[in-house]
Amino acid sequence: MSEEITVKTGTKVEPAEQKNIDPATVGLMIAGPPPNVDVEGQAYWGYTRCPYCGHVGRSLISSRRYIYYNCGYCGGLFRA
């Protein structure tokens, strides 16, 4: 039995908006297998797609902490 993987495609962040972003709200999208950790609260490891280069990687998805992500491949900043 295989699970279907859902990939959340990010949206580009304009340069004017980037100036006002709090670095504490920026996560990092990385490649590789997911870690074997328990999910706490509303955070979970999900897949995101960079809107700049199309790279798909894992991101810690949290409605309370991260809103923006840096692509681990091209460095593009996006919202997911």
Q: How many CA atoms lie within 13 A of 61 on its CB side?
A: 16
Confidence category of residue 1, pLDDT binned at 50, 70, 90: very low
CA dist 75 and 50 (Å) reads 9
pTM exceeding 0.85: no
Q: Report pLDDT digits (tens) over 11-20.
A: 999 999 999 9
Q: How far apart are CA 17 and CA 40, in angstroms?
A: 30
CA distance linking residue 39 with residue 21, whole number of Å: 26
Own/partner contacts of 14-18, CB < 8 Å, gap of 24 or more, are 18/77
Structure confidence at residue 16 (pLDDT) = 92
